[in-house]
Each structure stands twice: as structure tokens, then as C-alpha cells.
Amino acid sequence: MLKAGIVGLPNVGKSTLFNALVANAQAHAANFPFCTIEPNVGTVSIPDKRLELLSEMSRSKQIIPARVEFVDIAGLVKGASKGEGLGNKFLANIREVDAIVHVVRCFDDNNVIHVSGRVDPVDDITTTNLELGLSDLNQIEKRRERLKKQIRNSKEAQIEDRILEQIMTELEAGGTASSVNFTEEELILIKPLGLLTLKPIIYVINLSEDDLSTGNDYVMKVETLAHQEGAQTVHISAQVEAELIELGPLERIDYLKSLGVEEGGLQNLIKATYYLLGLRTYFTTGEKETRAWTFRAGMTAPQAAGIIHTDFERGFIRAQTISYQKLLEAGSLIEARSKGWIRSEGKQYLVEDGDVLEFLFNT
């Protein structure tokens, strides 16, 4: 399962958000830096109305959603790349995740300490990104030193060194590794380094409940910076989400209405993170169960079949497929077959998000 790491400075709302995400997680949220030391890990169901509609159509006895893993990582401080605070541990934990969910404090509260003594979300982002970049530079310098012995006799080492030099130039200019255009082969070469600034990122704008519906000046600044980076943002109030967990369905609706919003930002964050990781969903449906299966965008039908069982990929013959919209329009798999709407696809078929699939294979 791919993992998204929740990162940011201390006391920006990371653990509160994590607790809200996994509902029953035991991450301890408190009003002091480094409350989270060891990373907390929790899996979260992907909210998907398509799953519920297909289940209703098939009268399934069970619904099994897709899931994604979130990791709550210790707060970073200036100098983390040199070991300040919990820097080394923090950076090592980020290196192990596949995407970064960067929580940015966009609220004023004198009762919640800010590690810098003032609320400035753009400065917070700059501090975090600088430390990630410095850590990457350190990694690259060490790797290039080791490559020196191989460059004379290895073309692959020469190519890797050239790529790393490009990244160094970008980082030294204040950019990120993701700013460099790589081929698939080049990405494979540098993947073992686990470069932090190469990971996809989403900024979570953490607001007070009073500003959730209207936003504030902080939001505009973060949105501008994110746009410049080509990053996505999600608006959320971690505190509101934590309170929603304790309420029943009707109470939640009333509470959100009182804040001037129709829904919290939690579901948007989960879905946005899922897509940020390059994940998509196909479905299987029947009377026994309707299930969402997670696959990577760009997977072929045999690869997608292998997610269910390796035998399905090994003995793949073909896939029977229909989009979930078309299936719902037909009203049942039987009716869809009678209309000729179910397609037969071979080994080269690229599975699409929302496909309903049945695999035929040799044992």
C-alpha cells in the first residue's frame, strides 16, 4: 500500500488531522513541539459514491472500499537537515513515504504555540521546503562521491551522475528535483536515493472554524505559492474534523451548516491524496460483494488482474469490462450483456478509473 506522509512544522495541526483521518488512531495531540516522535500509521477508506451505487444495484452483502495509508510524522524545525530538533528522524521518515501532505497553519490562536513565535504560512512552507532541499543536496553529494570510482567504466554511472548534477543545479537555485524533466529510465536510476523534493505534494490549509467558509489573508498567500509550484491545495479545519467524529450524521450536518459549509474538507483531502499518489479504482460487483480495487494509473488489464491474484495475471486471457456509469444505466450485468455494452479487452488494454471488470484466465 502506498503511503502519504503528513508533514509540517510543530503545532500546525498534523496529529489532530491524522486522528480525524483515521478516527480511532491513538496519535497524541498536544500543545508543545515534538509531541509526535515515532510516526503513527493508519489506513483510511476512500470515500466513493460509485461503490455504494454499484452495491445497491447488485444487492451486495458486503462493500469493500479502496484504502490509502497515512503516516503522521514528527514536526520539523529550521536546521533539520543538520540534525536540529528531530531532523534526522523526520527526514528519514519522509523518505519512506510516496507523497507529502504538507499541513500549513493558517489560523491565529494565542493558546497554541507557534515554533517561530508568529504565524506566517509562507515562511513555514519555505522553511520546510528548504530543509527538504538541503537534505537532498546532502544525499546527492554523497552519491556523486561514490560514483566517481564507477564513472570511468560504467555508462550507467555516467548517466546517473549527469542527472544528479542537473538536480543539484536546480536545488542550489532554490528549485526542487521535481522541476527537472526526467525520462522513465532516469527516474529508475535515481529512485533509490528517495529524494524528498521529488515526491508529489499537496498543501493542506488548516483554518479555524471561523474562517472555514470564508478563508483569510493567509489562504491567499498559500494559494499563490502553491500555484507557482503547480501544487494542489485543500482547505480544512483539523479541529472541526476532530469534533465531527464525535457527532452523529444529523448533528454533523447541522454543525457544518452553522459554520457556513456543506461538508468538511476531510473527504476531499483523502480523494486528492489518492489521486496524488497516482492511484485509481476499478470495481468488481456481485451479490456476494462490491469491491473497489486500487491500481496505478497506466496499468494494463493483466497487471490490474494481478492485484486480485497473481494467477489472474499469469493466466490472463481477456477482461470483460464496462464503465460504472454504463452499468448503472443498464441496471444489471445481465441487462448490460443483453445490450452488448460489455466489452472484451485483451492484454494491451489500459484500465480506466471507474471500470467494472471481470477477468477470464487459465489456471
Residues in binding site for ATP: 11-16, 207
Q: What band does 304 get if pLDDT is binned at 50, 70 and 90? A: very high
* pLDDT(265) > 70: yes
Ranking 49-58, 93-102, 246-255, 350-359 by mean pLDDT, the lowest is: 246-255
* pLDDT(149) > 90: no
Residue indicated by cell numbers 508529489: 200
What's the Cα-to-Cα distance from 170 to each of 125, 178, 220, rounded to whole Å?
18, 9, 27
Chain mean pLDDT for the chain: 87
Instruction: Determine phi and psi for 356, rounding to 5 degrees.
Output: -105, 120
* CA atoms of 30 and 41, how far apart (whole Å): 18
Q: Is 190 left (phi over 0), alpha (psi -120 to 50) or beta?
A: alpha
Q: Is 41 left (phi over 0), alpha (psi -120 to 50) or beta?
A: beta
Given this model, what pLDDT does residue 161 score? 93
pLDDT tens digits, 311-359: 999 999 999 999 999 999 999 999 999 999 999 999 999 999 999 999 9
41-46 average pLDDT score = 85
* pLDDT(266) > 50: yes
CB 73 within 8 A of CB 7: yes
Percent of the chain exceeding pLDDT 90 equals: 51
Q: Is 83 left (phi over 0), alpha (psi -120 to 50) or beta?
A: left
If you average pLDDT over each of 27-41, 44-58, 262-276, which comes out highest? Answer: 44-58
* CA atoms of 74 and 60, how far apart (whole Å): 41
Given this model, what pLDDT does residue 57 score? 96
* CA atoms of 234 and 274, how far apart (whole Å): 13
Residues in binding site: 11-16, 207
Given this model, what pLDDT does residue 88 score? 54
Q: What band does 35 get if pLDDT is binned at 50, 70 and 90? A: very low
CB 105 within 8 A of CB 114: yes
Q: b/e for 323-332, b at 16 or more Cβ within 10 A?
A: ebebbbebee
Residue indicated by cell numbers 494509473: 297
Nearest residue to 136 via CA among 100, 91, 76, 173: 91
CB 348 within 8 A of CB 300: yes
Alpha-carbon dihedral angle through residues 186, 187, 191, 195, given to the nearest 10 degrees: 110
CB 122 within 8 A of CB 225: yes
* pLDDT(36) > 50: no
Percent of the chain exceeding pLDDT 70 equals: 90
159-164 average pLDDT score = 92
What's the Cα-to-Cα distance from 240 to each of 112, 166, 211, rounded to whole Å?
16, 44, 11
* pLDDT(141) > 90: yes
Given this model, what pLDDT does residue 249 score? 80
What pTM did the predictor assign? 0.83
* CA atoms of 45 and 49, how far apart (whole Å): 12
Radius of gyration, alpha carbons of the chain: 23
Residue indicated by cell numbers 468538511: 264
What domains can you pick out in the chain, each with its CATH number? 3-275 (3.40.50.300), 298-361 (3.10.20.30)
**How many CB atoms are closer than 10 A to CB 4?**
27
CB 163 within 8 A of CB 186: yes
230-234 — which CB contacts under 8 Å span 24+ positions? 231/201, 231/202, 231/203, 232/202, 232/203, 232/272, 232/276, 233/202, 233/203, 233/204, 233/205, 234/202, 234/203, 234/204, 234/205, 234/265, 234/268, 234/269, 234/272
* pLDDT(46) > 90: no
Given this model, what pLDDT does residue 246 score? 83
Q: Which residues contact 93 (CB under 8 A, 6 or more apart)?
A: 5, 39, 71, 73, 74
| Burial tier of 32 (Cβ tally within 10 Å: 0-12, 13-18, 19+) | exposed
pLDDT tens digits, 278-295: 999 999 999 999 999 999
pLDDT tens digits, 162-189: 999 999 999 998 889 998 888 888 888 8
* pLDDT(104) > 80: yes
Q: What band does 221 get if pLDDT is binned at 50, 70 and 90? A: very high
Q: What band does 77 get if pLDDT is binned at 50, 70 and 90? A: low
Given this model, what pLDDT does residue 86 score? 43
